[in-house]
Structure 1
């Protein structure tokens, strides 16, 4: 399981390796391998494929568009599939396709207006989420500049997120009694910044000024935390010492609460301190050791699930959670790095009150970046799926774009969906050799399939 391809499968891991000056060879994008088209008579799988397509067509719901705004009648069946879920995980098969990002905006608007959702949570840093939410609640600034400042260099530094954030702010102006919120559920990657430290120390200054000097001493060498990739070049022993200080600070803040245990300000200060401590714990990974890298990624998925659940339970609002398919679903294509994704953890927490929605697509373009979280994003185009891939059969359904409840599909489709096959799957970095594999029926509750995607729009 060791090796640079294994470590580099996902964006953060490739970035970590690059930060430590470990070379990850570039892999040229190639057409997926597999058998070419064959006639039904010569292909022993053709009859099964036709049966699967018929089964899917009997339950598939056509999707009118992925673009936000306009009529939403085509989303009513999806609303029924979501039911009374408190958290809905909406994935993305790539980190750089317009249609995935636009559909997140469209579905969020529908869930806010029709089902009372109050938060859009994104696979971005907790501190960036706080910054964006200040703007959404009416704070100063400009949506496009805010995206540059808070999401710059990330896969979400895109016009689609400018549009989403601008809509959230406009919604709040006209619905002041029922505002929506933006939440970053990730660790402080690639940066924590300094404001999150200040949020912790300002609370302690007001509640327990006697312990402030000790807290300031613990945080003195840690703040600001502006570049995780530069930080990862520090000696491992130094990083471990920093992580111990961040944990001591969390313990100090937790023990220093004034007033009742339910005190709101104290709860938020502890949550901020926890995010700082977990970020420094993640940053103790040893990029030369695959097991250490996997442990760090498992910490990250656990933290993302905990942050999402903390926000939802603290506020009582319903959450649409946006992340890669491999984080919102129950299975990832890389089971070494992600043996228990965020979605699986949220299912443990919420049971059926968590619903995982995955995306697939047959062909098209997206943005990818071999030097992750820099401005080196480039467009990649992939051809139509080959017969050995999940998407080939999914794209035979008569609807160009559609969605289907995987929990209730007929047996012929269920058996086929539960088998692992090659699939299009791209985080910040795309690898096509070997193709990732996934059993879609075991990964999600609901699937949205798109015939074609186009690259996301640079902001």
Structure 2
């Protein structure tokens, strides 16, 4: 079996990767099993550069806050701000601290310099503004959408004024309190004010859609798309806060599913404008449902990849990345009865292989799901192999 896998393994580059796919995808997802590892970010950057050089993709989307990502896109397209500023304020989850992300943004800005707008590369975040310990206030998203509508339409058409929004929103600290994640009673998501905001947000989004031609003519399609992102973010955040205030057993799976739904909405909206390389955690981009145990309760929800794949079909392609070892994190050589252990036996340090072909090769091998001693690394579920299009394997993550 090792010899057969060795014969099917290929060097990692964009051309080899795309040849493994059934068709040229509109949304090409590149997953990772751990965040922030230099070798994985360098591989991603190399693949994106090659795709750009081949004229296939001009947009990259990262698992980072979609609203903060606007700052990065403005920098790489127009040079607004400085590299230090966008790395500090243009990323969520601490991703601006990763050297590979900094190099990506620097390279994109250098590439765009002096080129016409039609040839620019674009950056986007596709995550919602949520963290493991809470969620953002809907203020930024709601006020940005409201401001856009007020600038492009007659005031009488917009269902509220800025003062009304400000009054209903109140202090942002009420929305962002980490205590609300642990105690539903501390959340403001089901207050009368929050209920009014949900209705207003729905009306504002409906107005954005109904008056799209007028608004695009008064601004631009890019501006309208950005306003739609703010609208989806506002409604998503208000739903998220609603479920933060819920005390039923449905609370956590609904919160986890809402985040994935926000990711999927952003990815689908980006794909409407042209081919996108999306990079993020394997768990978000996988076609399979996600699950976790919380006490004696099994929580299940649809990942962003599940939702996007259902809409795009073969126009969505997934390359999942697997790791052998991360010595500095205490992740040693994988056991031989795991899929990582099987792949670890090959001589190459990194390679890509057709996922369906690999699944067939190991179909009769009794594999177990690898256990990780480090919370930041998620091994591959061997039963999910065939739901990827390609598998990228990295034998060892060297020290940074």
The TM-score, its normalising length taken from structure 1, stands at: 0.72
For 1:450, which of 377, 394, 400 is the aligned residue?
394
Q: Does 1:77 align with 2:35?
A: no
Query: 1:307, CA displacement in angstroms?
Result: 1.1
Structure 2: how far apart are the matches of 1:101 and 1:247?
38
Which sections of structure 2, spanning at least 5 residues, go unmatched? Answer: 293-297
2:253 matched to which residue of 1? 294
| Residues 259 and 92 (structure 1), Cα distance of their counterparts in 2 relative to 1, 3 Å cut | closer
Map 1:85-104; keep pairs closer than 5 Å: 85-104=25-44
Moved more, 74-83 or 174-183: 74-83
Map 1:287-436; keep pairs closer than 5 Å: 291-313=250-272, 315=273, 317-331=274-288, 334=291, 336-365=298-327, 380-409=329-358, 411-416=360-365, 421-423=368-370, 429-430=375-376
Moved more, 239-248 or 84-93: 239-248
2:232 matched to which residue of 1? 274
Report the aligned-residue RMSD.
3.1
1:218 matched to which residue of 2? 165
Q: Does 1:209 align with 2:209?
A: no
Question: Helix, strand or coil for the counterpart of 1:447?
Answer: strand
Contact 2:318 2:389 (C-alpha < 8 Å) held by counterparts: yes
Aligned residue pairs: how many? 375
Question: Helix, strand or coil for the counterpart of 2:262?
Answer: helix
Moved more, 110-119 or 322-331: 110-119
Q: CA deviation digits over 1:169-203, x for unaligned, max 9? A: 11111432311111111212244686544421221
Contact 1:250 1:274 (C-alpha < 8 Å) held by counterparts: no
Contact 1:334 1:436 (C-alpha < 8 Å) held by counterparts: no
Structure 2: how far apart are the matches of 1:447 and 1:107?
14
| Residues 145 and 270 (structure 1), Cα distance of their counterparts in 2 relative to 1, 3 Å cut | closer
Question: Helix, strand or coil for the counterpart of 2:353?
Answer: strand
Contact 2:309 2:316 (C-alpha < 8 Å) held by counterparts: yes
Q: CA deviation digits over 1:271-299, x for unaligned, max 9? A: 31221120121133258765311111111
| Residues 363 and 161 (structure 1), Cα distance of their counterparts in 2 relative to 1, 3 Å cut | same
Query: 1:162, CA displacement in angstroms?
Result: 0.7
**Greater relative contact order (CA < 8 Å, ≥ 6 in sequence):** 1
Question: Helix, strand or coil for the counterpart of 1:247?
Answer: helix
Query: 1:107, CA displacement in angstroms?
Result: 1.0
Map 1:2-401; keep pairs closer than 5 Å: 51=1, 53-63=2-12, 74-82=13-21, 83-151=23-91, 153-176=93-116, 177-190=118-131, 191=136, 195-206=140-151, 207-210=153-156, 214-216=160-162, 217-222=164-169, 228-230=176-178, 232=180, 235=185, 238-241=188-191, 243-257=194-208, 258=211, 260=213, 263=216, 264=221, 265-266=223-224, 268-283=226-241, 284-285=243-244, 291-313=250-272, 315=273, 317-331=274-288, 334=291, 336-365=298-327, 380-401=329-350
Structure 2: how far apart are the matches of 1:409 and 1:220?
57
Q: CA deviation digits over 1:315-372, x for unaligned, max 9? A: 2x1111111010111236635545421112111111111111111111115xxxxxxx
Question: Helix, strand or coil for the counterpart of 1:123?
Answer: strand
Contact 2:349 2:394 (C-alpha < 8 Å) held by counterparts: yes
Which sections of structure 1, spanning at least 5 residues, go unmatched? Answer: 1-50, 64-73, 366-378
Query: 1:220, CA displacement in angstroms?
Result: 3.6
Query: 1:164, CA displacement in angstroms?
Result: 0.5
Q: Say which structure is richer in helix.
A: 2
